């Protein structure tokens, strides 16, 4: 193997890994429509007949509800916001009826901490209501 191949192989491997990561964040549904894994739409909620936001998230994006260690010693939980107003932890999603919901979005930990602070180190579930 030549020196040029030694340099190119890790570079090509890195590009393949990067492109597969991008493909995982927005997958295509069977009908060719791209699915945003960070969002739940009102159509998805109505399609399945959920009664509240918790049921919708649990049924469509259960991984959003899983608490992950954040490396800090303080026990934290995923925060829930309704129209940019903080409600509390994920159990508050049970209080939001599906008739109120326009969309639900998961905001990753890095973005949430940058926007709201360290106590958002597990991310945010943002519910936007119909107005």
pLDDT tens digits, 38-65: 999 999 999 999 999 999 999 999 999 9
Mark whether 16 and 67 lie in a shared domain: no
d(CA 79, CA 90): 6
| 94 or 1, which is more confident | 94
Query: How does 63-79 read in b/e, with b if 16+ C-beta sit within 10 Å?
Result: ebeeeeebeeeeebebb
Q: Are residues 9 and 43 in the same domain?
A: no
In this structure, the answer to whether residues 32 and 45 fall within a common structural domain is no
DSSP state of 31: T
119 and 56 share a domain? yes
The larger pLDDT score, comparing residue 72 to residue 80, is at: 80
**Domain range spanning residue 52?**
38-129
- Number of domains present in the structure of the chain: 2
- Structural element, H or E, at residue 41: strand 39-41
Judgement on whether residues 110 and 48 belong to the same structural domain of the protein: yes
Q: How far apart are the first and last CA of the chain?
A: 64
Residues 42, 32 within the same domain: no
Same domain, 20 and 45: no
Question: Would you state the pLDDT for residue 85?
Answer: 97
Map tokens 């959920």 to a residue: 50
Please indicate, yes or no, whether residues 124 and 69 belong to a single structural domain of this protein.
Answer: yes
* pTM check: above 0.85: no
């Amino acid at each position: 193997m030549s020196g040029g191949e030694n340099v190119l192989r890790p570079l090509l491997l890195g590009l393949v890994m990067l492109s597969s990561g991008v493909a995982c964040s927005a997958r295509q549904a069977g009908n060719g429509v791209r699915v945003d894994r960070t969002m739940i739409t009102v159509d998805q909620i109505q399609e399945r007949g959920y009664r509240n936001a918790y049921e919708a998230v649990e049924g469509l994006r259960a991984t959003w509800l899983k608490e992950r260690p954040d490396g800090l010693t303080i026990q934290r939980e995923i925060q829930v916001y309704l129209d940019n107003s903080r409600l509390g932890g994920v159990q508050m999603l049970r209080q939001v009826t599906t008739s109120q919901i326009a969309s639900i979005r998961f905001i990753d930990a890095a973005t949430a901490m940058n926007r709201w602070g360290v106590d958002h180190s597990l991310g945010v579930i943002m519910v936007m209501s119909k107005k």
